[in-house]
Structure 1
């Protein structure tokens, strides 16, 4: 009798723990919709004053900040609107998504940035998947052509930045893994394997040079394009050259999970597993699963969190759970935990933050920019994580 009571108690405890991480997707989306209605109104008001500003980026020091189309974050807002349409099938969101996606269109010809995956593929890729509009298909392909011009065969990577040539010669940042999806998709759309080959070469070179034995990542690798050798290993947005910048770890996880999806190369799956192990085994991450902005900041816990890193990680974990058979339950549970925290503790109060959904992200702490703020890519990957958790 006592044994039965103990077993029942354990079962109840186990059920309670599992239940504690359940996310009310419908409630989370409804709340996000209400916030985004406010955001759209603020965007429209701002554009009446400055029509060249196309997307909301953040709120900093109480100021609502919009960006022009060539900003690396310009595509996240229209891409979010497509996610609302995907979830609700409400024509309101379809019309808004089409309207704001069009504003980024000219960036398909931009050869001066590695971020065309963010800028173009997020909105136009989502739009194409949901509408099969051939105009979107054409934009995706042209953007891939533009991005491909930044590839150096000797180094085997796509160049990230053209600025600060006094610091580096051919910088490649871990964030660039996120832009490879544009190339993979363009091979599927055209049959032209050159896009695929560039993406694979970049992923392989990055896997070789960007990671430490514990699967933490350097932020910036500087290459010599004459020899293909690494010149130096640095950071731009992390605490120090040897530190693990939280959003960089999230980009890496998401990027190699996506590369496995597109290639079925088990080396990418194993690499993604290694990155997850680094993230989930961290002893400095708080109990709610939302990391500090850099895993090695000596001021922890008295530093800002990064909800954007958490949202990216959760979204990646939901996908990776479908590929990693041995760790599927573990990854899904970790994603649920993060998403539960974001949806209950990190959402803006109704009507606040000009309509941004999440609070407490960190953009560029070393530059004293966007510290503990709402930011558009946090909202985008949060919505994506909600959608993925719902499948």
Structure 2
């Protein structure tokens, strides 16, 4: 996984992303151009046109995001519409016919006080093997917004990570039959990472600003025993918090809120053979730890993300050759974030086969004055 250290204005950060991550951006373009054409029958020109409908909403939401997208386009030598389309790929891919829509999969787990002194969030990201070559880990430093560490796909400016204010976010893709012309969910993820507090992060998504349905796993810490975690299903029609316990929760790739499901429709035709089992297994692992009074740490999360129960459709996901071709996926990376202690562990590949490497976010007190 290539590491990019980016700094400056939004346009400068985007340009550096485009220049240094051009190979990874080209891989993203290749993957999604093929997927859209083969499984939805739409060419890239149509994809670009569909992405442009989101520009007014993004402009009203946070125009700085468009500046960064423009920078990525300039740096990579691609058109603005190409990079915008990558950032709106979920809105184009996840909505519509369950037999043609495709998406990444994920299992996400979070814990906080009183179950754990530290606020910890972690997940696997499951997707096409070809996108292994698109992964970028970005360290972003800015004077006017929080420093960020995140893992993303080349060209996409928001995904999974945390910032210097101990705000972290994960993603579970959700299939649905409805979307809007609102803010693409990957830009919603970036807005969480651009937030200096929990209330700021939640305020950015609470009014139905997101264009499509997704689950955002949000964690926040103000120190030991002072943290909180949420699984927030976002949609064009509002949000729903689905973890019943304030101290822990899990999510996979089906809609859990009945209200959200009624509004957007459940489009995951593999819910009961894959997503539901992974969710129950994650709940089971948490329940076992609680019952046995096991100390839950980052190492516990690593073990959970390596779990192979019900393989190939396990938390550590393997390719299921019985699934439709466009729905076959495998775990591409795993991430565990201790937001209290600023310890981030990233596994480049399947956790069952690969080690986690430790990283940190550069915090305000560490910045050069």
TM-score normalized by structure 1?
0.30
Higher helix share: 1
If asked which structure has higher relative contact order (CA below 8 Å, sep 6+), I would say: 2
Higher strand share: 2
